[in-house]
Amino acid sequence: MVRVFLVVALVGCCTLPATAATFEHGPYAGAPSHDSVVVSWTSSPSVPARVEFATRDDFATTGAMTDTMAVAALAEDPLVKTSHAILAALAPASDYVYRVVLVDDNEETASAVGAFSTAPDAGTPVSFVVLADTQQQLEGTNRLALVGDAIAADPFEYDFVLHGGDVVENPSSYYWDDWFASFAAMLRRAPFVPVLGNHEKNHRSYYDAFALPPGAGKNDERWWALHWGDVVIVGLDSNVKKATDFQAQQAWARAHLSGPEPHKFAIFHHPVFSSDAYHGSGTFLDRIFHPIFVETGVNIVFNGHSHHYEHIVRDGVTYLVVGGGGATPRTTKPDHIEGSDVSVEGHFFYVRVETEPSAIHIETVSVAEQRADGTCVETARLLDRFELREAAAAVARPAWISIAILAVLATAAAWIILRNPGS
């Protein structure tokens, strides 16, 4: 007891050394491609760092990171808080591990090890995870962490994580801090690729936080396209208000979805079709984007905003409403919309996607269920499972004349609707 007292007394009367820099967010990866990735992090304070990386095989064999990249501290700028390091000239179709080491004078602080892959060759299976509407709950069980930890622990091997918007409740540091803490384990598993929701408010903090695939619009990141082996994914922004922005996205989507990839996906926040009693379907998006998806043979469209799960098929295109990442669940209408094959309320979930050359396999995984009394109960079960075969994916595609008509209608709709917003 005397020794303990003396130690406490000495600590209390002496000046402690300054603490080393610490990670506030990350590190995490984004903007994956066939030969590069961006590693991002936020530290307090911003200090010089180095990114260490190696192929997964080399690291497993030697336990050492074979390559390093030095990164300078950020210049003082209240609008820029996140460091981004571009790792280029990587080997295609390869698995990597990485970590970031903060260098604060003589103190070094190393992060946990994260992972990423470069894009595979054509004909190779592709897998990824999709979620949306994480936002934040105000009290009780941290549902965001439930979903994030379930994705992190899933034995399913995935190349990246897509997010359909409403990443946070509000784009302030309080909500970003909570979100990054809740999804830290998931972010270490694979690159993160989001689109904007209405809750991000097109705010600078979203663009500061995430490195996205090549795109256009604000910062060339407001909408983007990811070409990944046999897969192309177009990420769009359904929050735009200007007719010219919708037209630009129509052209962007048509160009990237008309390429050679056999599997085609789109993701954006507001649902084109939904039976949600709170929001319903996205206003006019069925006229603006749906004809292009039919025309280009899109397999699956992922949407959030409506806080439930729904599997809808229209004109051969499958629409999945996936707003179950943690936000408060919503109810659906008693009479579901045309083409609604599966609809589930009250669950927090994510979607597994796996492709092979002639098929797409989908599994929607419930992590937890919110009961009527507001309590949250873990579930770990499938809400939906289906596959799209190549032959089935081509069903109900209209003839070229119908396609041309649909394309003209889509362009006209963007002008008419947005020039008459009160209609």
What is the pLDDT tens value at each position of the chain, 423 positions in all? Answer: 333 333 333 334 444 445 689 999 999 999 999 999 999 999 999 999 999 999 999 999 999 999 999 999 999 888 899 999 999 999 999 999 999 999 998 899 999 999 999 999 999 999 999 999 999 877 788 999 999 999 999 999 999 999 999 999 999 999 999 999 999 999 999 999 999 999 999 999 999 999 999 999 999 999 999 999 999 999 999 999 999 999 999 999 999 999 999 999 999 999 999 999 987 665 689 999 999 999 999 999 999 999 999 999 999 999 999 999 999 999 999 999 999 999 999 999 999 999 999 999 999 999 999 998 888 999 989 999 999 997 544 333 443 334 444 444 455 444 444 444 433
pLDDT on residue 374: 81
Classify domain 126-413 by CATH architecture: 4-Layer Sandwich (3.60)
pLDDT on residue 1: 36
User: Which residues are 130's β-sheet partners?
Assistant: 162, 351
Domain topology for 22-117: Immunoglobulin-like (2.60.40)
Enumerate the domain spans of the chain: 22-117, 126-413
Identical fold between 22-117 and 126-413: no
Half-sphere exposure of 149 (CA within 13 A, CB side): 10
DSSP for residue 13: H
Q: What are phi and psi of 339, to 5 degrees?
A: 85, 0
Strand, helix or coil for residue 271: coil
pLDDT on residue 18: 56
Lookup: tokens for 290: 């749906």
User: Which residues are 310's β-sheet partners?
Assistant: 321, 343
Q: Measure CA of the first residue to CA of the last residue in the chain; give whole Å.
A: 79
Lookup: tokens for 299: 């397999």
Q: Which of 111, 160, 89, 92 is nearest to 131 (CA)?
A: 160
Distances from the Cα of 417 to the Cαs of 236, 381, 421, in angstroms? 18, 42, 6
Q: Which of 95, 74, 85, 87 is nearest to 27 (CA)?
A: 85
